[in-house]
Amino acid sequence: MPTFAELGLQAPILAALKDVGYEEPSPIQAESIPPLMEGRDVIGQAQTGSGKTAAFGLPMINYVDPDEREVQGLVLTPTRELCIQVTQALRTYGRHKGVDVVAVFGGAPIRSQQAQLRAGGHIVVGTVGRVKDLISRHSLVLHSTRYVVLDEADEMLDLGFLEDVEKILSLTPNSRQTALFSATMPLEIQRLADQYLYDPVLVKVAAKTLSVDTVEQFGREVAAKDKPAALVEVLQAERPEQAIVFTRTKIRCDQLYRTLRDQGLNVKALHGDMSQGARDGVMISFKEGRTPILVATDVAARGLDITTVTHVINFDVPTSPDVYVHRIGRTGRAGRSGRAITFYEPRQARELEAIEVHAGIKMAPWTQDAHVAPTAPRPAKPRRHAAKPHDAPAVANGAAPPVGKLAKLIIAGGRADGIEPSDVIGALAGGAGLEGERIRNVRVLERFSLADVPADALETVLSSAVELGGSPLRLEVARS
């Protein structure tokens, strides 16, 4: 495996990589960077978490001339979340070279983005709709844009953006260099590549090189009508630090969210029909550990890169083996191991077998006895391995704080008072200074609520001024 220095990157880029501790390229980077540095078009098939942002971003930063005040590089993304993530990564890589990266996306004031573009911008990272809008307003000019990246192209297809992508590509120079990255390669994406890429190099990261080997995988056969109850049973047995529950549809996502909420679980939903503000709020709450359970659709969960997710539960069987690999890649990150549990109906046994063959695994049957506590972070590996970059070099969330022995609190106030689980967590975290991840098993009942806190912090919690909405909360210890 070559080092970054051996790939021919400029000294300022190597200095930026050193700042964030990256020393050895990941497989997708080692295979993609050399042809991109030579000016070749590239098709990269890889999931989030494989390091693809650096794979296309480092050659792009290398190419840009900071003295030319024109848009020289364009990255198109399907979602606002991925746009922000890629922008953060590119800004980090280009810091020492003086490369200006501008993010443009919907749900934010277009005038401020227009002002950023007028002030400069060597690279623009944007969602398809906002890029098209800025082009129509003559605020974004692409006649000097000779490095174009389509990131997560299959998601652009699923969201219906492909026609707009083609329109944007037609406004860039014919001499451009194009990189297309996609987790899967449906026929429409292959057609797009055939039409807009010239003699591309194909780089494919096999599933076995992804993070599936850090995930314990289970299957549970269950009738369709029994799935919600089975999910509650699994969550109660597994007691995840953080879990993502995947559904196929937005309607199912909402239904399941309400079912779990009504069971007193601290849960949020994430899907494409929600407003951008609502989606942002849910993602922030989940990333900060204030929401332990997230029910999400596949498209909405793109861009989630959270090291503290201990469980992935496939409430619905994924639509393809590639989607399965992407889903379970949300856990087992940053040296931690994770657990994935897939619900399947008797008629879906063949679909499950196809997934097992593709991922090269055999799912063990999930039972109560199959449960073990979520594993702690693994011992630190040698520096060169631990420093392998992932998609965003932003500061990791870190491992969840160890909890140890727990004490149960009874809190005066429940659903009748308009209290939600997130309110309980916020009040205890704010008043007693506890990290949200250390507050467990929150249940909001009609007239009172329950929560577990670390026993060694019990006295601090009881003596703190814990308030909700400006009013003090009455706390007492539940005696067994």
- With a cut of 70, say whether residue 351 has pLDDT above it: yes
Cβ atoms < 10 Å from Cβ of 353: 12
Strand partners, 57: none
CA 274 to chain centre: 17
State the Cα–Cα distance between residues 387 and 384, nearest whole angstrom: 5
The predicted-structure confidence for 10-32, as pLDDT tens digits, reads as follows 999 999 988 877 778 888 899 99
- With a cut of 80, say whether residue 62 has pLDDT above it: yes
The predicted-structure confidence for 108-133, as pLDDT tens digits, reads as follows 889 989 999 998 899 999 999 999 99
Residue in the structure block whose two tokens are 């780089």: 203
Please spell the DSSP secondary structure of 274-295, one letter per residue. S-HHHHHHHHHHHHTTS-SEEE
State the Cα–Cα distance between residues 41 and 175, nearest whole angstrom: 11
Could you tell me the pLDDT band of residue 379, with boundaries at 50, 70 and 90? very low
What's the pLDDT at 243?
93
Helix, coil or strand: residue 219 = strand
- With a cut of 60, say whether residue 386 has pLDDT above it: no
Structure-block tokens of residue 419: 């209290």
Structure-block tokens of residue 40: 């070749």
- With a cut of 50, say whether residue 435 has pLDDT above it: yes
Locate the domains of the chain by residue range.
5-205, 209-370, 406-477
209-370 shares the fold of 5-205: yes
CA distances from 84 to 102, 120, 180, 264 (A): 10, 18, 19, 33
Q: Which amino acid is at 347?
A: R
What's the pLDDT at 301?
63
What's the pLDDT at 390?
39
The average pLDDT across 294-308 equals 74
Enumerate residues 6+ apart whose C-beta is below 8 A from 276.
Answer: 80, 106, 107
- With a cut of 50, say whether residue 84 has pLDDT above it: yes
The average pLDDT across 180-190 equals 87
CA diameter of the chain: 73
Residue 275 burial by Cβ neighbours in a 10 Å radius (0-12, 13-18, 19+): exposed
- Report the top-level CATH class of 209-370: alpha beta
CATH number 3.30.70.330 is the correct assignment for the domain at 406-477 = yes
Could you tell me the pLDDT band of residue 213, with boundaries at 50, 70 and 90? low
Could you tell me the pLDDT band of residue 353, with boundaries at 50, 70 and 90? confident
Mean pLDDT of the chain: 81
Q: What is the pTM of this model?
A: 0.53
What's the pLDDT at 404?
63
What's the pLDDT at 470?
63
Torsion, Cα of 218, 285, 81, 327 (10° steps): 0
The architecture in CATH of the region 5-205 reads 3-Layer(aba) Sandwich (3.40)
